[in-house]
Amino acid sequence: MARMTVSDLLHLSVAERIQLVEDLWDSVAAHPEQVEASEEQLAELERRLAELDENPEAGESWDVVKARILDSL
């Protein structure tokens, strides 16, 4: 496979660049165990879990949030 520079990538069409990003993301998502979270990210996750434990009824389900987002489009 030939190496591409950033300049080469910027000459791709928008659709080609979007596809490239999707392909790259899929390759990362296929191996989540290789993605390391920073200390700040881990602390934030712990904070959110503690908040959820304290008040489990405070949030909304993904279905409710998704519907609200789609309705606003």
Each residue of 53-67: pLDDT tens digit?
999 888 899 999 999
Domain locations along the chain: 6-72
The reported pTM is: 0.52
Each residue of 12-49: pLDDT tens digit?
999 999 999 999 999 999 999 999 999 999 999 999 99
Whether 1 shows a pLDDT value over 80: the answer reads: no
Identify the sign of the CA torsion 7, 13, 18, 23. negative
Helices vs strands, H then E, count in the chain: 4, 0
Residue 12: how many other CB atoms lie within 10 Å: 13
